[in-house]
Amino acid sequence: MSLRILAITLLSLALTACTQVVNRGPVAGADLLVAPLRGGAPLYTVTTSTPASVIAAEGDAAWNAGSDTRRLQQLGRADLPGDLPLDAADWYLVTASGGSDFDIDADGRLESDVGTPVQGSLHAIVRGEQLLADGVAVSPLTEAAYRFVVDYLPELTDAELEETLDTFAADLVSDTDISGVVEYRDLLLANRLYALENTLPGQAAAVDALAEAIADGAADERLRELALAISSRGAPGPIAEAVYAATIHQSLVETYCAICHVEGGWGERASANRVVRDDDPEYASKNTENFRNLLGRYDVAALAATPRGVGHGGGRVVPEGDPVLDAFEAWLKLL
C-alpha cells in the first residue's frame, strides 16, 4: 500500500461520518448543534462522547486497557444520523458549546477524569456532503475560519464563500488529504489528535492562543482579533474588491493615481505600483491584489499617507479633507 493511500485510509478510519470537537484536546460532553448557515431552525442536537458514554458502550476493561492516545481519540465525538435533511451543496453551521477539554495542555495524555471546562463555543462552516460523508474536526482552525467570514455572510454568495474559505485554509494548513491542493476541506480534516503537523508551523502559536481564548470564554471581539491574526488577510477577497470598486477606484485611483501610475506613466517608471484602469473588466481584483502586494513592503499607515505626499515622489495629490483619504486607510485595513 502506498504512503498516500495509507494516509487517506487512516484519516478515513479516524473521521468518516463522525464529527469530533477538539480545542486543545477533545471536548467531551459538548452540546453539538447543526443548523442552516444563513438562518433557520436547528436540524440536530447531540452531546459529544464522554468517558462515561464510551465505557457504557465498550466496558470498563476496554477503556482501562486503552492507551491515552486511543482514549483521547474516542472522546468529543458525535455520529450524525444518515437521514438528516441536509442538502449536499448547502452550507451548514456546526456549533459546539461547553463540555470539558481532556487534554488542555495538548501533551497527548488524558488530563484527568473530569477534564477542564470549556467556557466558550467552537464553530465550523460545513457543506452537507462534507458533514455526512467525510466527518469533520470542529476546532480552533474552523473557529478562525468562521470568525473571518461571519460578519460578511450576507454579502457573500455561496461561491464567494467557498473561494474565501479555500484561500483562508491555505494560510493555516497543509495538504491534509494529500489531494495535491490545499483547500477548505483540508482545514476541516486537520484534527490535531491525528495529524498535528498539518497545521502550518508558523501558525501553531496563534492557533493555540485562539484555543486558550475559547477555553476561557473570551468575548467575540477578542476571538475575532485572534482569528484575524492567524490569516494574512483582513477580510474576504470579494468583500475587499467590492469596497474598492464602490469607494476607492473612481474617487482615488482613476482621479489621481492613474494620472501617473499606468503603463508608460511617470509613476510607473519610478515605482513598482502600476494601477489598472476600469476598461479592464478585472480592474477591482487586479488593483486590490496590487495594493495587497504593496502592504508586503509598507504598513497601512505609510501606504495611506502617500496620497498626502508622505514618502510619495509625486508629492501631495489628494487635497486635505477629501473623505477618500480616510476611506482609503479603512480599505487598506481590510487587506
Per-residue pLDDT of the chain (335 residues; tens, 9 = 90+): 333 333 433 343 343 458 999 999 999 999 999 999 998 899 999 999 999 999 999 999 999 998 999 999 999 999 888 888 899 999 999 999 999 999 999 898 998 889 999 999 999 999 999 888 877 999 999 999 999 999 999 999 999 999 999 999 988 888 888 888 889 999 998 888 876 566 666 788 899 999 999 999 999 999 999 998 888 788 888 988 888 888 998 988 888 888 888 776 665 555 667 888 888 899 988 888 888 888 888 888 888 888 887 888 778 888 888 888 888 888 888 88
Q: What is the pTM of this model?
A: 0.83
- R_g of the chain computed on alpha carbons: 23
Judge contact between 188 and 272, C-beta under 8 A: no
How is residue 70 annotated by DSSP? H
The DSSP bridge pattern shows strands 27-28 and 100-101 to be antiparallel
Question: Rounded distance, CA 59 to CA 310, Å?
Answer: 72
Region of 115 (left: φ > 0; alpha: ψ -120 to 50; beta: rest) is left
